[in-house]
A and B are shown apart, each in its own frame.
Chain A
Amino acid sequence: MKKILKSKNFTLILILIVLIAVFSFWSSQLGKNFFATSTIKNVLQAIIVTGFLTIGAGCLLISGNMDIAMSTIGCLGLTVIGNACAKAIPGPIALLMMIVICGLFGLLDGWLVSVMKFPSFIATMGVSFIVKGLTYVYSQWWNNGVATNVNFKDAFIQWFGKTNLFGIPIGAYILILFFVIYGIMISKTRFGMKMLLVGGNPQAARLAGINATKVVITLFVNGSILAGISGLFQGARLGMAGLTALSTNQFTGLTAAMIGGISFGGGIGGMGGALIGLLILNTFQIGMSVVGVNPYWVTTFSGILLLGALSIDFLKLRFASTKLARKRRKEVKEAGKNA
């Protein structure tokens, strides 16, 4: 029990509960209902789209890498699906095309990072430009020389966006399923243990016979495909593939994962934390807009939230050691008086 109370995830859940309480109280004061169906719907849609990014980014972070090309790859994925469907290519095939194309760019990311030894920030920044440009080129090529947003109708693809089960979008169930699968993978499987070890120290992992290159490339491919899935959910509801889809989400997955306690240095963290981080970030953002905080400020506060979450551990330690020093000084002083 004590262990649970001390765990990082417990602290995070507390923060989440406090956030929800604050926003529900605040909005009730303003005569609004934080738990209104429209709010929940908004939260869920945002969570579904950024959730897949969070899983991908979280896995990469655990292995000591980051991918800032994920949002652009997701946008490319959506463009591929949208354009294919608009030309009456069956949905399942469009989905497969997306997986292959996104996977290829993940392979490029992984190759640059683990074989060419680029720092992952730089490699994926380069790839993000390449992908962004190619998205427009691709769109131009499919649409007779004009790069444009596309509307599409495909029952299979739109099933992902329009189906509800017990009033909740199907995407939410799929996302939870993914979180569970990835959570099990990290904590229970061989590959998950390798991820953590490679993230903790790639050199030591390699000298202990772990194929770090393979692990890292796999995770980049995985991240890119998850980005594509995120793009799928972004476009499936409205049946539109926008050329700037996900453009505000370049760092969202990364932020949620880090709030959720996945260490930027790699080797520490899990999917439970990432899920709570995702919920905290989204509750915070939607809550702010429900109570009518100026949207420009919301972005600023999100930054403060991230930094605050990252300093929890540091502050805890700092606080504990100053308290200890003060206590000892007092003890010695009193012992001196008594003597």
Chain B
Amino acid sequence: MQKSLEFRDIEKNYPGVRALYGINFKAEGGRVMALMGENGAGKSTLLKILSADIQPDIGQILINGEEVHFQSPVDAIRGGVSVIYQERQLFASLSVAENIFCGDLPSNKLGGYDSRQIIKDTKELLDKFGLDIDPYEKVGHLNVAHQQMVEIMKAYRRNTDIIAFDEPTAPLTEVEIKILFGLIKLLKEEGKVVLYVSHRMNEIFQVADDIVVLKDGGFVTQMKTSECNEAMLIKAMVGRDIGDTYSNLVRNTNIGDVLLEVKNLKTLAVHDVSFTLRKGEILGLSGLVGAGRTETVRAIFGADAILEGEIYLEGKKVSFKSTRDAIDHGIMLCPEDRKEQGLIMRRTIRENVAMPSIHKLSHWIFLDKKQVRNLAEEAVEDFDIKTPTVEKVVGELSGGNQQKVILGRWINKVVDTKILILDEPTKGIDVGTKAEIYKLICELACRGISIILISSELTEVINLADRVLVMHNGHITGEFAREDATEENVLAAAMLD
């Protein structure tokens, strides 16, 4: 029988927001359906409804033509629905095999579970996809890319009719993405219904057969991938033309002298890293997840200990005892993980913007509330942060606006930013906002601010950076000028073995 999944008039309301409404579409078995939309369009909410993590206010879900009412995620899995969430749901202290079989462990005669069996089955499963992961290894010891693959294997093994992926490639490197696409192809051949959520355009065109576009909680359109192109898709998602993202950027043609020089930097995670950064230059830092990019910039920023090596800023040797030191010298870092490291989600925009500048915005020990407020209001204006007031709690903003709050923190009149380090600035951000952030980065470079840009999206680094450094296993393994940086040679340096 043909497998299918249908949503009818799904609606979900929260006080003050209509998260989803009028969602009507049908996904057929043997095809991959991409769910597209900007942040806050309602994709994740829809997946949560599918997995019965939340209940819709109105509407029905039909699986293989029959209406279903799942009461809980366990119910949904039994009913044939697996959802792989962005946030991995793994047990760090259990082994790979135990995680993959969790909830479904085969029992042995003693009433325990058959560990030999699951190890054997896990091994088979991993080998089938050419994954080099030890079934005995504790999941907490794996890198994020492998953790994500374990999550995917866990869902694959359940062998459900419907399988949904929410941004599965975010933590993955090229190698695993290939494996994942192979797996999706296999699922298609088995006639399963596959839902796929991603912000990465090229992936969508590679993997999806149909596309459903959501915007602000509503259904916009459904189309066949073969009948649409990137521009059409972006227009449907954003509601307007944003033009070619990269070619319209105004680049800094006036790159100055060497501003920062790093010599033989060594920390626990990086070895013998040396490079220079010029005034007004955008330096791309590429490499696979875990190559030591984040660790390098954290060490420069004074957040991690430096074991050996020297850092020169404007020709003078510096050694930062703390992040405060680095900030006072004009080096700013926008960390990789906005939620965990970047922002204080429960506090307001005002406080998040003023955070590093508190001492400059006060009289004696007292805060100057007016100045703090003004600073935040300027940031909202300068970076076009969409919010009614600076008193809004940052956790309630969309990902793109959150990133802009961090930018507003580091680029304003009270901090003197010389070097801005951006670690994955567009992770999980929708196309419209991405384009804005690219434009901002180039504008900042034109203003003479040097930028170190870390990104796992190759196209981003190659198109934005004036120079690309590639890291592998804690070492720098390649350096390319913009003209020479292509996906092939950057990737070759990144995967060096």
The chain A residues found within 8 Å of chain B, CB to CB, are 188-194, 196-197, 200-201, 203-211, 263, 265, 267-268, 317, 320-321, 324-325, 328-329, 332
> How many angstroms between the C-alpha atoms of A48 and B321 in the bound complex?
43
**B335 sits at the interface (CB 8 A):** yes
A203 contacts which of B13, B341, B358 (Cβ < 8 Å)? B341
Known: A200-B347, A211-B322. A205 touches B58 (CB 8 A): no
Residues from chain A with a CB closer than 8 A to the CB of B1 are none
Supposing A188-B366, A193-B367 touch, asked if A204 and B58 sit within 8 A by C-beta, the answer is no
Contact of B11 among A191, A194, A203, A328 (CB under 8 A): A328
- How near does chain A come to B334, taking the closest CB pair, in angstroms? 9
Given A190-B365, A321-B13, A325-B57, A205 and B355 contact (CB-CB distance below 8 Å): yes
Q: Is the CB of B344 within 8 A of A200?
A: yes
Query: Do the beta carbons of A329 and B58 come within 8 Å of each other?
Result: yes
Listed in ascending order, the chain B residues whose CB lies under 8 Å from chain A are 11, 13-15, 57-58, 301, 303, 322-324, 326-328, 333, 335, 340-347, 351, 354-356, 358-359, 362, 365-367, 369, 409
Q: How far is the CA of A338 from the CA of B354 in the complex (A)?
A: 54
With a cutoff of 8 Å between Cβ atoms, the chain B residues found around residue A265 in the complex are 346
A268→B346 contact, CB < 8 A:
yes
Flag if A193 contacts B366 (CB, 8 Å): no
A277 to B359, CA, bound (A): 32
Whether the Cβ atoms of B365 and A324 lie closer than 8 Å is: no
Q: Is the CB of A189 within 8 A of B341?
A: no
Of B303, B335, B345, B356, the residue contacting A210 (CB under 8 A) is B356
Partner of B13, one of A193, A204, A206, A328: A328
Contact partner of B14 (CB less than 8 A), chosen from A189, A192, A321, A332, is A321
Nearest 7 pairs between A and B by C-beta?
A200-B344, A325-B57, A208-B355, A209-B324, A209-B327, A209-B356, A320-B15
A265 to B327, CA, bound (A): 28
Cβ-defined partner of A197 (8 Å) among B13, B322, B355:
B355
15 residue pairs from A and B, CB less than 8 Å apart: A189-B367, A190-B358, A190-B366, A191-B365, A192-B367, A194-B358, A204-B340, A208-B355, A210-B324, A324-B14, A324-B15, A325-B57, A328-B58, A332-B11, A332-B58
B340→A207 contact, CB < 8 A: no
Measured between beta carbons, the chain B residues less than 8 angstroms from A201 are: 340-341, 343-345
Say yes or no: A203 contacts B356, CB within 8 Å: no
Knowing A189-B365, A193-B367, A317-B15 touch, does A208 contact B347 (C-beta < 8 A)? no
Chain A residues whose CB sits within 8 angstroms of the CB of B58 once the complex forms: 325, 328-329, 332
On whether the beta carbons of B365 and A197 are closer than 8 Å, the reply is no
Contact status B366-A324, CB under 8 Å: no
Complex Cα gap A317–B14 (Å): 9
A325 to B10, CA, bound (A): 12
Given A207-B333, A208-B355; 10 other pairs, CB 8 A cutoff: A188-B369, A197-B344, A197-B355, A206-B303, A206-B323, A207-B323, A207-B335, A209-B328, A265-B346, A328-B57
Alpha-carbon distance between A122 and B3 when the two chains are bound, in angstroms? 53
CA distance A203 to B369 in the complex (A): 24
B351 touches A197 (CB 8 A): yes
Contact check, B57 vs A205: say whether CB atoms are below 8 A apart: no
Determine the distance from Cα of A139 to Cα of B420 in the docked complex, in whole angstroms: 58
- CB within 8 Å for A196 and B347 given contacts A206-B323, A209-B327: yes
> What CA separation (Å) do A210 and B351 show in the bound complex?
13
* Contacts A189-B365, A209-B323, A211-B324 given; does A204 touch B342 at CB 8 Å: yes
- The answer to whether A200 and B14 have CB atoms under 8 Å apart is no
Cα A267 to Cα B347 with chains together (Å): 8
CA distance A197 to B351 in the complex (A): 8
Shortest Cβ distance from residue B15 to the other chain A in the assembled complex, whole angstroms: 4
Q: How far, in angstroms, from A208 to B369 measured CA to CA in the complex? A: 19
Closest Cβ neighbor of B326 among chain A residues: A209
Q: Is the CB of A203 within 8 A of B340?
A: yes
Q: How close is B217's CB to chain A, nearest CB, in angstroms?
A: 13
Give complex CA distance A273, B365 in Å. 23
Instruction: Give A328 to B20 CA distance when docked, in angstroms.
Output: 12
B358 proximity list for chain A (CB < 8 A): 190, 193-194, 210
Whether the pair A196, B323 counts as a contact (CB closer than 8 A) is no
In the bound complex, residues from chain A placing their C-beta under 8 Å from that of B11 are: 328, 332
Chain A: minimal CB distance from B189 (Å): 40
Whole-angstrom distance between the alpha carbons of A191 and B358 in the complex? 9
Which A residue sits closest to B12, measured CB to CB?
A325
Closest beta carbon of chain A to B186's beta carbon, Å: 39
Shortest B414–chain A CB gap in Å is: 12
User: How near does chain A come to B375, taking the closest CB pair, in angstroms?
Assistant: 13
Contact B366 A208 (CB under 8 A): no
Q: How far is the CA of A332 from the CA of B13 in the complex (A)?
A: 13
> Which of the listed residues B324, B341, B346 has the most CB atoms from chain A within 10 Å of its own CB?
B346
A21 to chain B, nearest CB (A): 30
User: Least Cβ distance of A317 to chain B in Å?
Assistant: 7
Shortest beta-carbon distance from A117 to chain B in Å: 15
| Shortest Cβ distance from residue A252 to the other chain B in the assembled complex, whole angstroms | 26
Contacts of B340 in A (CB 8 A): 201, 203-204
A residues in contact with B303, CB < 8 Å: 206-207
- From B335, B344, B366, B367, contact of A267 by CB (8 A): B344
Q: Are A200 and B346 in contact (CB under 8 A)?
A: yes
Distance, CA A79 to CA B411, complexed state (A): 54
Cβ distance A272 to chain B, nearest Cβ, rounded Å: 17
User: Is the pair A208, B351 in contact by a Cβ cutoff of 8 Å?
Assistant: no
Residues on A with C-beta less than 8 A from B322 are 209, 211
User: By the criterion CB–CB under 8 Å, are A190 and B341 in contact?
Assistant: no
Within the complex, what minimum Cβ distance (angstroms) separates A307 from chain B? 22
